[in-house]
Amino acid sequence: MNMMSRRAFLRLSALAAGGAALSFLSSCSLFESDPGALLSSFFVVSDTHITADSERNKRHFRTMLSDISSLDIQPSIIVIAGDIVNSGIQEEYDLIRSLCEEEGYDFDSDFIKVMGNHEQMYSYGDNTGPIDEEYRSDQLLLFLKEAGLSEVYYDRYVDGLHFIILGPDAWSDRCVAFNFTPKQMAWLDDLLAADEEAGQLSFVFCHEPLQNTIHGSMEGSWGWRNSLYDNDELASILERYSHATYFSGHSHAYPDIKRPNPDGALYVNDGAVATGQVWAPASVYGGGYSGAFGIQVNVYEKRVDFRGRDFLEHGWTNVKHKMAR
């Protein structure tokens, strides 16, 4: 695998095509036979839950990386959308670094890290704190150090694409639920508004899903009960921007892609790597949880393609979506 050279190739392709600035082509069919030149490709995965206590989780992670390495289109970056490690301890970060190295990846440069509830605070036993007045648990501080960050929410550009990463920056009394400050929500709204004015797509990543958007977040499901405190506020922002795509994990539900409101954001559930739901009838929120899934995103001149990947079966799922640019 040679991600660095692939990333350089994609950047050169984008420059040759006039850059990766995004303009929406309302006249472009979603089923355009020629999507134009490939500008960038990335993968979104989550819930790797790396821990020394689970051989399955380690095996699924290694299989995910080797499967991605086998593909014709190599990603410029892999986004891990939360619950990267299981207990938020140093030994687990050391372990995931070594697993990445075994498969030819670098944990620091080849991944964008999104905070999950297992990095927010340890969610089992009595080790849930202490949390200081600035909402800084030991686990949160360690995540920031290992991810090379100063804040749990941030943005960056990859091949000219705007990646916006959300994270819990306000006190939560439940380890499975995120809470956001008004400052972060205003920051997000400003970024989305600026992207819309510039004709650019916005790729937003958060570990926890919005209610009633994608599989695993519908009313009555685990993901609906155990997610964002600020669900309604975040939803009110995202529903104003049809150019935004919101990626999440957390529920371990089978991958899913939906746009509930044609004028609002596109919502993507990436599945889970450690224990993903292996079957998903539309009305069922249970089933077996021993799969490993993710979403590939290919950005072309005229179109953005989303495809679900089954890493254990080394094939594509029936979850796919095409979005005009």
Q: What are phi and psi of 232, to 5 degrees?
A: -65, -40
Q: At residue 324, what are phi and psi to the nearest 5 degrees? A: -70, 150
pLDDT of residue 287: 58
Q: Which of 16-30, 224-238, 287-301 comes out lowest in average pLDDT?
A: 16-30
Q: Which residues contact 131 (CB under 8 A, 6 or more apart)?
A: 121, 137, 171
Q: How far is CA 201 from CA 72, 156, 245, 271, in A?
A: 25, 13, 8, 22
| Cα angle for residues 100, 103, 107 (degrees, 5° grid) | 20
Count of Cβ atoms closer than 10 Å to residue 217 Cβ: 28
Superfamily the domain 3-20+36-324 falls into:
Metallo-dependent phosphatases (3.60.21.10)
The segment with the largest mean pLDDT, out of 22-36, 145-159, 282-296, is: 145-159
Q: If pLDDT is split at 50, 70 and 90, which confidence band does 138 have?
A: confident
Question: Does 283 have pLDDT greater than 50?
Answer: no
Position 230 scores a pLDDT of 85
pLDDT band at 2 (very low <50, low <70, confident <90, very high): very low
- Domain boundaries in the chain? 3-20+36-324
pLDDT at position 11, please? 36
Percent of the chain with pLDDT over 70: 82
Specify the pTM.
0.87
Could you tell me if 266 and 257 are in contact, meaning their C-beta atoms sit under 8 angstroms apart? yes
Q: What is the mean pLDDT of residues 153-173?
A: 93
Contact 160, 14 (CB under 8 A): yes
pLDDT digits over 42-81, tens only? 999 999 999 999 999 999 999 999 999 999 999 999 999 9
Query: Taking each helix axis from N to C terminus, what angle separates 90-102 and 55-69, rounded to the nearest 10 degrees?
Result: 40
- Looking at residue 121, its pLDDT comes to 65
- If one compares 33 and 212, the residue with the highest pLDDT of the two is 212
Average pLDDT of the chain, as a whole number: 86
Residue 289: name the closest of 280, 278, 300 by CA. Answer: 278
Measured N-to-C along each axis, helices 231-238 and 182-198 cross at an angle, to the nearest 10 degrees, of 10
C-alpha to C-alpha distance for 111 and 101, rounded to whole angstroms: 13
Cβ atoms within 10 A of the Cβ of 184, count?
A: 20
- pLDDT tens figures, 256-265: 999 999 999 9
**pLDDT at 4 exceeding the cut of 50:** no
pLDDT at 202 over 90: yes
Report percent pLDDT > 90 for the chain: 73
Which residues, in sequence order, are CB contacts of 52 under 8 Å at separation 6+?
Answer: 91, 92, 95
Q: What is the pLDDT of residue 129?
A: 42
Query: What is the residue-wise DSSP string for 218-265?
Result: STTSHHHHSS-TTHHHHHHHHTT-TTEEEEE-SS-PPPEEE-SSTTS-
Q: Which of 120-124, 132-136, 240-244 has the lowest mean pLDDT?
A: 132-136
In sequence order, which ranges of the chain are alpha helices (DSSP H)? 3-16, 55-69, 90-102, 117-120, 138-147, 182-198, 222-225, 231-238
Structure confidence at residue 175 (pLDDT): 78
Number of H helices and E strands in the chain, helices first, is 8, 14
d(CA 14, CA 20): 5
Rounded-to-integer distance, Cα 289 and Cα 156, Å: 33
Between 19 and 76, residue with greater pLDDT: 76
State the Cα–Cα distance between residues 117 and 180, nearest whole angstrom.
Answer: 13
Q: What is the pLDDT of residue 3?
A: 43
pLDDT band at residue 282 under the 50/70/90 scheme: very low
The amino acid at residue 286 is G
Q: State residue 280's pLDDT score.
A: 56
- Least Cα distance to 185 among 239, 245, 237, 133 occurs for 237
